[in-house]
Chain A
Amino acid sequence: MKNRLRVLRAERGWSQADLADRLEVSRQSVNAIETGRFDPSLPLAFKLARLFATAIEQIFTDEA
């Protein structure tokens, strides 16, 4: 699954560690999601959407 997490984070000037703190996950988690190696669960995806004040589908797009 592709995502715009890196772009959204950069727009706010946040580091991966900043985003990880806000999400209450490890920095490795943020990196794994950004690079597409790990797809977050729905609760975490909703948390991301709330944090960036946008819809989930604006962050994640299905590659199919």
Chain B
Amino acid sequence: MNIVLCHRQFSPLQRRSMQLFGANLGLTAALSLATRDLFKEAHLPALLGYFVAALPTVPVIGIVAVVGRYLAREADEFIRAIVVQSLLWGLGITFVADIYLGGLFAYPSILRLIPILNIDLFCVSVGVAVRIQLRRAQ
């Protein structure tokens, strides 16, 4: 949400939500990398493997909770509507990119693609969508 609301003055709710959002995002990235390294270097038993693979999803649930809390408490209904519309744009773009990249992976002749973290793509597309909509409302 950082790029997002890009007003010069943030409300305390917006500031707090962005801090929590950023912290959860950082934790998602850190846990994703740590999990990948762990799988590369250690041969985990199947049950433990499932548990470790689920770890990076925990902060994603945190992100959903932060966004939900923000939407529930945001008093400005226009800003709330913009955030909801942008979340839908973010979901749409992430799904489209995911399906497209999934299709490309099926072609063995194509070199390995840069792995994209869905959550990053989602956040960037939501941020861009909010910026565009706020600019239109200037």
By a beta-carbon cutoff of 8 Å, the part of chain A in contact with chain B is 24-26, 28-29, 31-33, 37-38, 40-41, 44
Contact = CB atoms under 8 A, between A and B. Distances in A.
A31 B77 contact: no
Contacts of B137: 28-29, 31-32, 37-38
A40 B75 CA distance: 12
Interface string B123-138: 0000000000010111
B11 to A, nearest CB: 9
B79 interface: yes
A32 B75 contact: no
Question: Per DSSP, are chain B's interface residues mostly helix, strand or loop, or mixed?
Answer: helix
Given A32-B137, A37-B137, A24 B79 contact: no
B76 to A, nearest CB: 5
B78 A38 contact: yes
Contacts of A38: 78, 81, 137
A33 B137 CA distance: 10
A33 B78 contact: yes
Nearest to B77: A41
Name, among A28, A33, A38, A40, the residue most crowded by chain B CB atoms within 10 Å (CB to CB).
Answer: A28
8 contacts: A25-B75, A26-B78, A28-B79, A28-B137, A29-B78, A29-B79, A33-B78, A37-B137
